Structure formats: C-alpha cells, structure tokens
A and B are shown apart, each in its own frame.
Chain A
Amino acid sequence: MDLARPIGILLAKELRTEFRTRELLVSTLVFVLIVLVLFSFTFDPTTAESRRFGPGLLWLALLFAGSLMLHPSFTREQSNETIVALRMAPIEPISIIGAKILANFCFLLVAELVLLPVFAALYNLRIVPVLGRLVAVLVLGTLALSIVGTVFAAISSQARMRELLLPLLLLPLLTPALVASAEATAGLFESPPALAPVWMGVLAAFDTIFLTVTWLFGEYLLEE
C-alpha cells in the first residue's frame, strides 16, 4: 500500500491552497492572540500566577483555535465537491485523511511557534531555557488535536449544525490530551523545570491510539 506518495501530493495541495488564501492561519493566529491577551487581563501576570494559569490558558486557547481551524478543512472540500474527485482517485482513502491530519498539524504548529513569544511576554514566562522540551510537548499535544480534530471535522462536515457539532464532539474527547499537555507544559515552568514523563506518556499513548483507530476506520469517514 503506497500511502506516502498520495499523502505527499495532497499535503502539497493543502499547503499551496492555504498559503495562497491564508484563511485558516491568519484567523487562527488572530483568534489565539485575542484570547491570550484577554486572559492576561483577568489576573496579575506575576511569575507565580502565570506558572499556575498560563499553560492551561495556552492549551485552552489552542483548543478553541483548533476547533475554529479544523472545521473548514473538510467543509471547503464541499463547495465544488472536490472530496468526490479525491474519492474517485485510485488512492487509499486513508491517505486523504492522513494528508488532512498532517496539514492541520503543520498549520497549528506554525501558529503556535508564532504565538509562543507573545505568550511568554504576556505571561512573564521564560521559554528559552525550556524551548526544546516545550516544542516536544507542543508537537505531541498538537498531534492529538490534529488527529481527533480532523476525524471529527470529517464526521461533522456531513451533518446539519456542523459548526456547533465539531466543538461539542471535540472538547470532551480531547480532555485527556488537554490535561496532559497543560500539566506537561506547567512542569516546564516550575523551579527547577521538569518534563513529566507520565504526561508525555499519556500524550504519546493518546496519539498512538487515535492514529490506530483512524487508520482502521478512516475510510468510512469519507463515505456519504
């Protein structure tokens, strides 16, 4: 089964389309920025307070932004029924889902890397000493958000009330990943900084389980 070739072709298409329109990336960046700024007004951003609340607020903002960004990933395939053309192509259906997951992962990660300095400045946190470990947490947490979000974006895109349905499905299911990501991030801002293996393990397990489930049942997501 050749998956790498179609995934690569479709990922290139997703990136080309997005960097031409910049619809998802710009709206997500602006949304997370607004949320982080508004949250920063709600408490005194001393280092101690920021250590307590900052990581949770960051991941909550990313989760909201994710639900905003992930929703159009399938609905914009519906305007000209391009999803039908992809389903007609002689490729494994799972490669369509795989390319969407990777594209959403890339978009979210780019948004996070742009927002990280803003987050550090607003919440008075030093990220440079823990940057490598922080990126590792972001990668695992964002992968969880991308996998589950893409799957449910595919499901909700065929439903009525789809704008409401995605966050309703996404938020409860992502709670374990959200808690693990926030806890792992919080550990990095403690004194001394520590990356908790248990939370990284939870994130890795979450990613593995949902990737496997998507691999096994992904093709059904695209059927009418």
Chain B
Amino acid sequence: MPDESASQSRGGLGVEFVQFAKRYGARFALRNVSLSIAPGECVALVGPNGSGKTTLLKAAALLIRPTSGRVQFSASANGDGRNSHDDSTAIKRYIGLVSHSILLYDDLTAEENLVLFARLYALDSPEDRALAALEPAGLAARGKDLVRNFSRGMRQRLAIARALLAGPKLLLLDEPSTGLDRAGQQWLGETLANLAAAGCTVLMSTHGAGDSNAFVTRAIRLIAGSIAEDSAVSGDARTMLAAALAAHQEA
C-alpha cells in the first residue's frame, strides 16, 4: 500500500547548525558543530555511543536549548533562514521524530494514540488519518489494542507511524530499526525511500547497514561531540554507507 505520508512531504525543510554547542554539567555533548543539511537531503549520523548523535537530533527537534550557537531552518520553496526560537511552534508542525523511546501512551490504544496526535497537529479527519497510518505499519488489525500489550517491534512500528502522521518535511530518526524484524526493516526502508523521493529531509542516526540506509546520500561521523568526517555517499548507497559504518566501527 502506498504510504500517504510520503506524498504529503512535498519539499523538505533544511536545517543548519551554526557553531552549536551543548553542555551537560562539565561535559560537552556537542562542541561548536557547524553543519548545513539542505532541504531534501538524506543524511546518516554515525559514531560511537556518547558521540553526540542523539543530542544533535534533539537540537534539530528544538527539544534542547544550545549552550552557544543556534539552529535555523530553511524551506525548499523560499530557502529563507529562520531562527529556531523565533517561531518554533510553527516549525514543529513540519518535524517528525522517531526517538529511542516510543513517545506513545501505554494506556491508550494504538488508534487513540494516533488520533490524539492527529488532533494536536490539527489534521483533518483525525480518525481517518490514524487508520490510514496504521495500515502501512501493519497494525490495522491491532488498532483497538492498548499499546502496553504490543511487542517491541510493534511499538517501534507504531512510533514510526506516529512520526509520519502529519507528513513531516524534516524527519529525525534515532536508530529507527531498533526492535524491528526483517519485514519491519524492509517496510521502514521502503517508507524512508518514498519520503526521500518526495523531497523530505531525513537525518538519521544509525549503527548498522540495512534497508533503512539504502536511500542515504551523505554520512556524517561524530566523535566526542565534534564532526570527524562528512562525506557524500554516491553510487551504490548501501555499499558506500556500509563501508562508512565499517570504517567507523574499526576506528
């Protein structure tokens, strides 16, 4: 079934980090990161645990304030830069996030969770949107079940469906294939490829090569909160990124 969210993401939202630093206590999670991701670009973030990948994604999601520097966004239509905190409520409408946690209520059903977020995003026909999101995730038959009764893989599928619900123009994914079985990873890969083809900007942290990396065009390696490597991935993207990941794992 075609993924409705992919067709909604016409044009991406670019994101730029300008001398962005984030410190937790005495430790810097990110050190003066300057990075520009153009609208429609698909970028993989690689690096060891604690290298700053999650913090970078949180910064792009406007969930943390910088210690110094800033994040700004630009749409593909006009390319105008906008400071993150000037109009953050409006920008959030276009950002989808798949986090380490599922960001869903255990005591609501899958359908109730999606309807809740469809309403918060002021989408038309929230019930229909929820059902349409459950279908491609393979959860249509379990829509009336409480999320607390879902398996790890089903919870992850629902978390991805929630992130795609409003048709994001910037999709942030933190190791999104965690918990997914082979079929789930294939679904994720196809969904992300469709979104990328529709022009959605994708920024994804990953630890391994797989279906979800096949569409990636750029890989950024973070080490200790700084960018160690930033390289284009061309040709056979899967092979190239796999090489980049292998290089990172050897490093």
By size class, the interface of chain A is 20 to 34
Q: Is A223 an interface residue (CB 8 A)?
A: yes
- CB neighbours of B120 from chain A (8 A): 6, 9-10, 86, 89-91
Interface string of A1-44 (1 = CB under 8 A from B): 00001100110010011001100000000000000000000000
B interface residues with partner A (beta carbon < 8 Å): 58, 61-65, 89-90, 92-93, 95, 97, 99-108, 112, 116-117, 119-122, 162
- CB neighbours of B61 from chain A (8 A): 88
Closest to A87 in B: B63
Q: Is A216 an interface residue (CB 8 A)?
A: no
Work out how many contacts link A and B, with CB atoms closer than 8 A: 69
CB distance from B45 to the nearest CB of A (A): 18
Instruction: Assess the A88–B105 pair: CB atoms within 8 A.
Output: no
Instruction: Assess the B108–A85 pair: CB atoms within 8 A.
Output: no
List 10 additional A-B contacts (Cβ < 8 Å) besides A10-B120, A224-B58. A16-B108, A80-B101, A81-B100, A81-B101, A84-B101, A84-B103, A88-B61, A88-B97, A88-B103, A90-B93
Q: Is A79 an interface residue (CB 8 A)?
A: yes
- CB neighbours of A89 from chain B (8 A): 92, 117, 120-121
CB distance from A91 to the nearest CB of B (A): 6
CB distance from B22 to the nearest CB of A (A): 10
- CB neighbours of A84 from chain B (8 A): 63, 97, 99, 101, 103
Q: Is A163 an interface residue (CB 8 A)?
A: no
If A6-B120, A20-B107 touch, does A92 touch B99 (CB 8 Å cutoff)? no
Instruction: Assess the A85–B103 pair: CB atoms within 8 A.
Output: yes
- CB neighbours of B108 from chain A (8 A): 13, 16-17
Q: Which of B65, B95, B119, B122 contacts A223 (CB 8 A)?
A: B65
Q: Which of B93, B100, B107, B162 contacts A85 (CB 8 A)?
A: B162
Q: Is A82 an interface residue (CB 8 A)?
A: yes
| A-B pairs with beta carbons under 8 Å apart, 12 shown | A9-B120, A17-B107, A80-B104, A81-B103, A82-B105, A84-B97, A84-B103, A86-B120, A88-B95, A90-B120, A90-B121, A224-B64
- CB neighbours of A81 from chain B (8 A): 99-103
